[in-house]
Amino acid sequence: MPQTTEPADHPAGPVHRFAEIPEGRIHFVEQGTGPVVLLVHGFPESWYSWRHQLAALAAAGYRAVAIDVRGYGRSSKPSEVSAYRMLAHVADNVAVLRALGAETAIIAGHDWGAPIAAHSALLRPDLFTAVALLSVPYAPHGATRPTEAFARLGGDEEFYISYFQQPGRAEAEIEPDVRGWLAGVYAGLSGEAKPAADDQDGNGLTRMTVPRGGKLSDRFPADTTLPSWLTEADLDYYTGEFERSGLTGALNRYRNVDRDWADLAAWQGAPITRPALFIGGDRDAPTHWMADAIKAFPVTLPALSGSHIIEGCGHWVQQERPDEVNRLLIDWLHGLPA
């Protein structure tokens, strides 16, 4: 059974709990009552990335549940790379739903959480009845092996997902100064960041590539002053989580892209037929390098009811623009079939 490990500050406040999975546990934070809205974060974040949504969704009549994805925070961190395949993440979401005692949920994801949410709705539409995707649009399984596609995307440099493939390589860059690295990536991908000097196309890709023989942090802006939406206390929280957990579990998600491609071959080109919502930022790189996926929504997300690109917003959509995202989410939720 799920366990309550911290009392709510008040009866309607957030509660920390755990769901059992074969590899251990998934930590989650819930607030409110009503239909379940399951919130799945991306890299390098945690349940805390949804801190602005929990109370807002609860006030709107929903049971908001933000998880620590396996490999993060207080969730279990299996040692095998293959334990972080997409099928395992979908199974974790099912386990959380069971721990909540709920029959169905609406699911929302940001960054890597968006593909996890999308595949939860694709593979278990009986359980996940609607899906909201933030930052990363849905792209069905294709004919090209992902690592080959990412290698081409990097051009003369190394695309960040390619850089993350070798176990230990990115960890060696990040873990000596977790706080500094996190500050750099949060600031660099924020809508408030100045464009990189060599970003002539305006697509943000130069923040996502690594010079040959270099490090991803070589692409961080020289000025890593925290953006206005991120406080020192927020950065302290994220830093503490990753200093305790390390980065390997989080990075292992990237190391399964080819394994996912093999696992999900039967769903090549498959649309998600459940009601859907997309929210991106016009200063977020995936909005640009995945523009074709957004254009394909009439085919890939036939029940899409809204696609919103927020002006001046970067990658950390629900943290950068919480009020706007909350309004878009809640309006969409209220419009879903009962």
Among 49, 50, 96, which Cα is nearest to 70's?
96
On whether the CB atoms of residues 137 and 278 are closer than 8 A, the answer is yes
Catalytic residue flag (residue 223) = no
2 in Cβ contact with 99 (< 8 Å) = yes
8 A C-beta contact, residue 322 and residue 166: no
- Contact 26/19 with Cβ under 8 angstroms? yes
- Does the annotation mark 218 as catalytic? no
Tell me which of 68, 92, 111, 260 is the catalytic residue. Answer: 111
Cβ–Cβ under 8 Å, residues 46 and 72? yes
Give which of 175, 219, 163, 168 is closest to 195, Cα–Cα. Answer: 219
Q: Which of 27, 52, 89, 315 is labelled catalytic?
A: 315
CB distance 112 to 42 below 8 Å: yes
Residue 332 and residue 117: Cα distance in Å, rounded? 16
- CA distances from residue 170 to 4, 36, 57 in whole angstroms, order as listed: 35, 35, 35
Q: Give backbone dihedrals phi and psi of 36, rounded to 5 degrees, phi first.
A: -80, 130
Helix (H) or strand (E) holding 294: helix 291-295
What single string gives the DSSP state of each residue in 90-126? HHHHHHHHHHHT-S-EEEEEETTHHHHHHHHHHH-TT
Count of Cβ atoms closer than 10 Å to residue 231 Cβ: 11
Catalytic residues: 111, 315
